[in-house]
Every structure is written in structure tokens, then in C-alpha cells.
Structure 1
Amino acid sequence: MVVNRELLIDGKDVPALSGRTAEDLNPFTGEVYATVAAAGPRDVTRAVDAADAAFARWAALAPFDRRAIFLKAADLLDDRRERAAGLMAGEAGATRPWAYFNVALAANILRESAAAITAPRGEVLSAQQEGTLGLAIREPLGVVAAFAPWNAPLILGVRAVAAPLAAGNTVVVKASEDAPIACGLFVADVLREAGLPDGVLNVVTNAREDAAETAEVLISDSRVRAVNFTGSTDVGRIVAARAAAHLKPAVLELGGKNAVIVLADADLDHAVDAAAFSVFLNSGQICMSGDRVLVHDSLAAEFTRRFTAKAATLRAGDPGDPHTVVGPLISASAAERVAALVEDAVARGATVLTGGGRPEGAVHPATVLTGVPKDAELHYAEAFGPVCVLDTFADDDTAVALANDTENGLTCGIITENATHGLAVARRVRTGIVHINDQSVADEPHAPFGGVKASGHGRFGGRWGIEAFSSTRWVTIATQRAHYPF
């Protein structure tokens, strides 16, 4: 049965004013999984109208009441684990373990955001004027435009709204065309049932061909005071430019070209398992995925043998099969793009150690390459698929140079049994996140999450999320009358 969903505006499910709808395809079967309302510019304005009207009362709601809504939503999300897994499989081709991980982390993001609501905010300042009390107060911005992506739809759908709402803002979400229910409407359903007031969170869905116009109308609305975007670096540049044109702050979590560095003293079994998890989890469709595995010369031959053998055993195909590790990519065209990257690398001299070949629909096998030259597109382009490149190094300087040879700077994993050595290398790698004796994919709701360079700016998590979506006001209270010179 095809699922049918409308826009969520001011607490109500409403069709697009034009009556248009868009199809939401199952990436594994290619069949229509759902139809959603295709918003036009007037629908976006309606959503902002509702968010703007709800802002004052939401910002004034007692923090403990706001916190209760978040905590209830977290419990409801946990309870809807099976429903969420079905949605993620139908919309994004997600395997069940990946869906369960999404539910657990998304629920904990809500809980951490609940804690942040009642955490101390602001500072008492030392005033220069005698008899004056100075305060630095954090206050919400207003309406936030949030862009929720498809690849980790519950984690990133919740993260698109949790910190802005916790800070006291209202939100209009533009949901991804590839998973509009899981990353947008489903998240809103949970918060609505938990007691979120009407208009505080609104969700617009759109046809793929209308994506740019929808984003432009949303960002350019004068009542939208900040932008929260997670997605590719290319699209992030456009969003950042649009926000800057209207002098609006934007928190951007963008692409990665992440490395897993295997130092000479690494435990090989651990290194192989960690690297495989980093590369192939969710078919490599994670901003933190390990595109590159850099191995010390002394371990290279044995690591390559073991890692390639492990990759060759990873079953690719039906996400509903409990033995599947590498599920479909988000679309057949995405799989073709990955295959083209591999073909280009091979044509320029790279060697495929396992995998490669033509995809079957949206399914691309786990693939490992070596000897990828710098003129191959894959050398610098984010694979965003089940593909990695093996490379070797003789010393720390070379490892660091290889890891930093990218415009991105999101995350890095350093596998070593010597934490002191690992930390010394980590301090030289230019990323927003680094994990010593672990791989590159990790996310904790209380930690500062975000990248540097072309991987974006701003941080999610705990107090950093609240700070990203609030402003600081200087307020003084004079306890005695000042003397004026005239």
C-alpha cells in the first residue's frame, strides 16, 4: 500500500495549495513507496506564517514544560522503533540495524536537548560602572529554517530541529525529497504527539524539481532568522551564499573525505574490523564514512589481505535480509555515480582489489581500490557509497599529509595501541572530530559535532547546539543613579 502524506502547517495536515504531489520511491524495488504534497512558494510562506505566530508563546513557555515535551517525545520514538525501521527501509533502503541505531541516537538527542533546556545559560559580568549589574543572556532567534537529509533520516531529522526548538525557536523543516516522511513528517508526528504546540514545528515537502525554489523562498523570508543545513558540500555552498545574502547565520554540517589511519603498532584484527565498519556502514552513505584507509608500510600487506577478504564477504542487496550489510544506495543513479568513480579511477591506473563492476539497480558491492592517482575524481571526491581507497605511509609526516590532502575536514580515526602516539598524530590532523584507537564514524548527542574547512562550520550537541541557535544580549541593571556630565 502506498503511503500518502500532506504538509504539516500550524499543527494540521494540509495539501499543497496547488494540489500537486510528488512520488517517494523505494530505492531497492524502484516502486512508489509514498506520495507527499509538493509545496510551492505560497505553502512555504504559510509554514513561516505559522512558525512566526507561534514563536512568542513557545519562547515564553516554562523551560520545565518544554523539557517534558522533549522527554516524552524521546520515549515515544523508542516505542515506534519498528515503525521507524519500516519507514527507513521503504524510503532509504536502510538495513534494520542501521534503523535501530537511528532510533536510539535520535531519542538520545531529544533527551540531551531536554537537559540543555534547563541547563544554566548566560553569565554575570563584571560591570565597569559602579552599582551596575551586567548580564550576558542567551535568547532565541525566532524562526529557523532547517534542512533535513535522507541518509540518517531519524538522527539528522531530529538534529535539524532539536537544538533550535530547545533554544526556544520555532522551525520550518524542508524535508529531503528522498526520505520526506522519515526525516521530516515522522519526527514531527512524534513531537506533536508529545505535546508540541501547533505551529512550533512545520514541515514542507516538495517535488525534486522545486527543491531550489523551495529553499530560496524559505531562506529569503525576512522572518527566518537562521539556517540549519546538513547535506553535501556543493549544496551547502549554495545555502551558505543564500543565507549570507540575507545576513543570516547558518550552521552547516557538510561532506567529508575522511581517513582511517592505521599506525604501526595497531592490532590488526581490530584495525580491519574498525575500518570495515567505517567504510561500509549504511553502504558508505554517512558524512563520517572512511573513504580512505591509510596503513603503515609494515602492516600494509597483511592488512590489505585481511581487509579485502572481509570486504568480499559482505553481503549486498535486500535491506530486509538480516544478513545484508551493504544495502542499496538511495537510488540507481547514486549507484551509477559510484560505479563511474570506480571506473574512472581504474582507467587512470587504479587497481580494484574486490568489488567494482556494474551495480544492480541501486545496489553496489563493497569495493576496495588501491593505487588511485591524484587525477582520478575519486581521489578528492566524496564517494558516499561502499567504496574505499587503500594507501600506505612510511612515517607520521606522510600519514598526516595524506589525511589532510582534502578540502574537507570532518572526522578521522586513528588505530593505535599507543594513545600518546595517537594523540600526537591527532593534533596534526585538520578535522573537527578525531577518534584515537577507533574509526571515523561516531556520534554522541552531548559532544560538539561538526567539521572544519569545506566540511562546514558551527557545532551541534549539548550547549554548543543551544549557542548555535540563540543570540547573546548584554543587559545591565543600575542599582544606583548614574552621574551625567550634562
Structure 2
Amino acid sequence: MTGTLHPLPAVGPARHLIAGAWVTGDTTPAPSFDPATGTVIGHYHPGDVALAEAAIAAARRAFDGTDWASAPRLRASVLNRCAANLTARAEELAALIAHENGKPMLQARREVAAAASEVSYYAGLCRTLAGRVLEPEPGQYSLIAKEAVGVAAVIVPWNAPVTLLFRSLAAALAAGCTAVVKPAAQTSLINAFALECLAGIDGLPPGVVNSVNDGGVAVSECLVASPDVDVVSFTGSSAVGKRIMAAAAPSLKRVSLELGGKTPAIVFADADLDKAADELIRAALVNCGQQCVAASRFLVQRDCFETMADRLAARFAALRIGPGYDAASQVGAVIDRANRDRLEGWLDRAAGEGEILLRGRRLDDRFPGGAFLSPSLVAVRNPASSLVQEELFGPIVSIEPFDDEAGALALAHATRYGLAASVFTRDLARAMRVARRLKTGTVWLNAHGRLIAEAEMEGFGESGIGRLHGADALGEFLQTKHIYLPFGEA
């Protein structure tokens, strides 16, 4: 089935943004691909260390030499106009996401709307930043001020390139920081398009926002090691997060790391199983399962295990799979063929670690050169299985049985991750008991994957350090300063 095809918007080669100007650098443009067909849809100029150093220097000059950090009304105005620009260009940007990232249009539209919501939310917080005044003894004042940390490096992954860009960047700018963005190579066109909604706003001092395209690990290494970068905000794998934390240690810069997840969804036998199945199919396959909070483990009470497994497998098999820019598609491609091949390798190993209830397949007959893999469901009895322990980042879901609340919690805690979880039950007391005992930063009850700008998110274990979303996220980019003033007594 084919629906309306959303065309690729006109985009030029993605350039770097440094000191208020779009520049190409000296590197040869590299291609960006449509994951549904493998065809080239545009080009980007790769970054290098010289460009990264120039961007850092521009951000440093803007922080030290302009009023940006002490102008909350200006920051609010810039962010509000950025949100308006994102909204005005939402359909173009969503179509570009569908073409370069592979995400279905409905999900792409939601991503752009979520990004605009983040920017609007932090625009509102700009003018509410406040410290406090203490009088610890007569004739003495202690002034507690909140000040911007300085230059922030924002390293963005490819799986939600607009939301995850502005989730960190908007908070950094609201706090008064300046920034250097490093996008993923796979979504360079999206990054440049999204930053155009911010970079050209009147009143934004040159150098407050900079961006250097991916050019290999050297660009990120430069950002993390530079003494002129004060905080690194990274979203990506736990393995890379550990390397960033180690590389940042010599300069003792702050790190905010939103890392991997192996997110369990706990389904009790008294849940509305049809509603749970519908919710979990959506939550497991958002961006083809390439999301850290995607429901990648279904933990199902034994009394309804077989029933739930049958319903989930049937729903997986009935999904319409195709290019994200085809309105009929419910599931798109994975990001590239290398990742598709990696996931197939996991499926080959799955036969020895569980029972494959539904095996994913390629769609090469329909989309030669594409990176499609239909969903897979694997019944697993041993939580030590690599299918349970490793973040697969794709449309492969395990389903595991449990007997009672204690068993569900034991399974949920069987991995080193603690980013998020969900609980499905009609028993409110049980839902709250389990939610309170889960060692995860977010718990959804009878829902999954509902992230909003106003609510903080933080990982446990190897899922990260620091807060994202919400008012607390500003603290990742703020420094506390105590000013002591003895004023005497009359």
C-alpha cells in the first residue's frame, strides 16, 4: 500500500556555522543517504579540528565579550522566535527527517512539535532565573547568584536529531551559555536546516550558537578536551559516554550524559491487554526501535504470557513498513545498511538464546539498496541472554515471563541500565508500589515513552549522569556563586 509521498525539501550542502557565518571549510563534501533506498539526497561538509577550534573560539568570545549571559529578556526573545520558526517550517523539516533519518512522517511531525515545545518552555524560564539573599547575622548579606557556566558543547545523535538538539541547546542558551553543536554525520542536513531557524534571528550575537559537522572522532575529541569548553552535553551510547567522561576528566569540565537503555515494559495479567499491546507496539517501534526509551523488553506475567505473545506477534506482523515519507508507512527503515546487517547478526544468534516468535526480514525486493528490517519478537527465559543485556537499537524485542511483583522487579533490574520503564495494570496500588521500587529515572503507568518538556529525565546506572527536560536541566548549565557583603549596623 502506498499513500501520499512527501517530497524532499530543497536543501543545499550542509555547512558549518561559526561566528554567525555559514562556512564550508577545506574538506570535500560527503554524501547523505536516504535509508529507504540508499540513494544520495544531499551533501554535507565534514568538520575537522581547525573548524572545531574556530567554533570554540567564537563561542568563547561571545560568552566573554557580549551581554548574552546577563540578558535574559534577549535570550527569551530569541528562543521564542526560534520556536515560531520551527513551527512555521515544521512540515518541511518533518519531510527532511523522513528522508534523511527514515522516520515515518507522523513521528517526524511529533519530533518537530516536541522540539518547538522545548524551545518555548526554556524561553519562558529565561526570565525566571533567580538567586537568593540570606542575612546569616546582623549586618551581613550573603547573595547566592546563578550564573551561566560558559561554553557548552552539544553532541547530538542521529535518532531524534531535532528534539535532541534543542533539548540541550535551548536549556544551555536559556541559562546564558554559548554553544558549539556537533551533529551526527547521518543527519547533517537536518541539523543545518533546524539551526537556520535560530541562526538568523536578529539580536542573536555572532558566536553564541556555532555548529561543526561530523568529521570523525577528532571533532568530538577536540570539543571534549578543550579547556575553553566548560560543559559537554552528550546523548548517545553508554560506551561513548564513558570515553567522553574519561576525556573530560583532565580539565574537570562538567558532563551531562544521556546514555543507553534497555527499557522494560511490565505487563500484569489484570491489565487491559489490548490497550497494552497497542501502546507497546507503538513504543517499541518508534523510529524503528532506534530510541533509548523504546520498549525493548516486554516483561509479561506468566498467566497471560501466551495470550500477550500472540497478540504482539500478530500486531507486529500486520504493520505497514516502507519509506518514512510515504504517508501509508507505520515503520520506516533503520538508519543504514550497516546497522541493518548488525541487527540481522543479532537475530542469527537469537536462535541459540530464545525462541523466535517472529523473525524480521529485509525488504530488498521492494526497496533495493534500502535498510529495512521488519520487527522481530523473541521469547527469552534467561535474563543473562545477550538479547536482554545489550542495547540492540532496532526493531528486535524480547518477551520474558514473570510470576509476581518481586519477579518482575528482578527482571527489570537484571541489566546495567536504568533509563526508563513502564507498568501496565488496573491495580493503582500495585502500579505505585512497582513504580517506587523500580531503579529507573522515568516510570510510565499504563503508557510508555511519553516525554514532555516540563518533566525532568535522569538515568540510573549506566544510563547516564545529569538531568534533561524540565527546570532542573538548567542546572546543568549554571554555576552557583556566593557573594558576601558586610554592610554593618546603624
What TM-score does the superposition give when structure 2 sets the normalisation length? 0.93
| 1:314-358 Cα shifts (integer Å, max 9, x gaps) | 122222222211100000111111111121111x14222123345
Gaps (5+ residues) in structure 2? 1-9, 365-369
SS in 2 for 1:151: coil
Q: Identify if the C-alpha distance between structure 1 residues 146 and 334 changes in structure 2 by more than 3 Å, giving closer, same or farther.
A: same
| 1:246-285 Cα shifts (integer Å, max 9, x gaps) | 2111000011000000112201111111111111121001
* Residue of structure 1 equivalent to 2:196: 189
Listed as ranges, the matches of 1:93-172 within 5 Å are 93-127=102-136, 129-172=137-180
Q: Residue 317 of structure 1: which of 303, 317, 322 is its match?
A: 322
SS in 1 for 2:30: strand
CA distance in 1 between counterparts of 2:458 and 2:330 reads 27
Alpha-carbon distance, 1:162 to partner: 0.8
CA RMSD, Structure 1 to Structure 2 (Å): 1.7
CA distance in 2 between counterparts of 1:419 and 1:115 reads 34
- 2:427 matched to 1:423? no
CA distance in 1 between counterparts of 2:94 and 2:50 reads 33
Maintained 8 Å contact 1:3/1:33 = no
CA distance in 1 between counterparts of 2:219 and 2:489 reads 53
Maintained 8 Å contact 1:85/1:100 = yes
* Residue of structure 2 equivalent to 1:307: 312
Listed as ranges, the matches of 1:350-389 within 5 Å are 350-358=354-362, 360=364, 361-371=370-380, 373-374=382-383, 376-389=385-398
CA distance in 1 between counterparts of 2:474 and 2:393 reads 29
Name whichever of 35-44 and 99-108 sits farther off. 35-44
Alpha-carbon distance, 1:21 to partner: 2.5
Name whichever of 371-380 and 425-434 sits farther off. 371-380
Name whichever of 372-381 and 472-481 sits farther off. 372-381
Alpha-carbon distance, 1:19 to partner: 3.4
CA distance in 2 between counterparts of 1:139 and 1:48 reads 20
* Residue of structure 2 equivalent to 1:88: 97
Amino acid at match of 1:7: H
Maintained 8 Å contact 1:312/1:355 = no
Asked which structure has the greater RCO (Cα within 8 Å, sep 6+), the reply is 2
Maintained 8 Å contact 2:99/2:325 = no
* Residue of structure 2 equivalent to 1:45: 53
| 1:428-481 Cα shifts (integer Å, max 9, x gaps) | 111011111212x12110111121110001001232111111110111222118
Q: Residue 399 of structure 1: which of 397, 405, 408 is its match?
A: 408
Amino acid at match of 1:442: R
SS in 1 for 2:162: helix
Q: Residue 64 of structure 1: which of 66, 73, 81 is its match?
A: 73
Amino acid at match of 2:455: A
* Residue of structure 1 equivalent to 2:4: none
CA distance in 2 between counterparts of 1:63 and 1:20 reads 40
Q: Identify if the C-alpha distance between structure 1 residues 359 and 401 changes in structure 2 by more than 3 Å, giving closer, same or farther.
A: farther
CA distance in 1 between counterparts of 2:484 and 2:363 reads 64
CA distance in 2 between counterparts of 1:112 and 1:5 reads 28
Q: Identify if the C-alpha distance between structure 1 residues 178 and 372 changes in structure 2 by more than 3 Å, giving closer, same or farther.
A: farther
* Residue of structure 2 equivalent to 1:466: 474
Percent identical pairs in the alignment equals 33
CA distance in 1 between counterparts of 2:31 and 2:294 reads 29
Name whichever of 457-466 and 105-114 sits farther off. 457-466
* Residue of structure 2 equivalent to 1:34: 42
Q: Identify if the C-alpha distance between structure 1 residues 55 and 354 changes in structure 2 by more than 3 Å, giving closer, same or farther.
A: same
SS in 1 for 2:82: helix
Alpha-carbon distance, 1:29 to partner: 1.5
Gaps (5+ residues) in structure 1? none
Q: Identify if the C-alpha distance between structure 1 residues 421 and 374 changes in structure 2 by more than 3 Å, giving closer, same or farther.
A: closer
Amino acid at match of 1:90: H
- 2:438 matched to 1:434? no
What is the aligned length? 474
Amino acid at match of 1:299: C
Maintained 8 Å contact 1:316/1:366 = no
